[in-house]
Amino acid sequence: MKDQETLAQFIALRVQGWTFDRISQALKVSKPVLIDWSRQHQFHIQNLQAVELEALADKHLSSRQLRWQQLGGSLSRVEAELAKRDLAEVPTARLITLASSLRAEATRETGSLRFTAALKDIPREQYVENVMDWQV
């Protein structure tokens, strides 16, 4: 079996999104071994990916907040104008479409982070399914 340092490198590279082929070449480890490691450490890899994604989101939080404020302001203006309009007017359809698009874009901006744990790591009294997910 490969040493723990090689395993740690494998996990780090998978977290970064490297393919099995690329990792196999870099670490000189066969793909079947890498696939086995991936299965054994899938929850750890997923959690590290979530942590990296969270760090990226935190790094760009101010710009994300600004986008949220801009989207919210635009949506408020469109909905205020829409409330004044008679639905029989042609521009109203465009405003409804714009409001829907802004809502969809705002929803995409929220995203979601998921953390998982293996069944053996979940206290018995908290067990519901094979994997518990926490959303942040």
pLDDT in tens, 26-73: 999 999 999 999 999 999 999 999 998 888 877 776 677 787 888 889
Contacts of 120 (CB under 8 A, 6+ apart): none
E strands present in 61-130: 114-117
Structure-model confidence comparison of residues 132 and 26, the more confident one: 26
For residue 67, the surrounding DSSP H or E stretch is helix 61-84
- Indicate the domain borders of the chain: 60-136
Taking the complete model, does pTM exceed 0.75, yes or no?
Answer: no
Name which of 18, 44, 21, 46 is nearest 32 in CA terms: 21
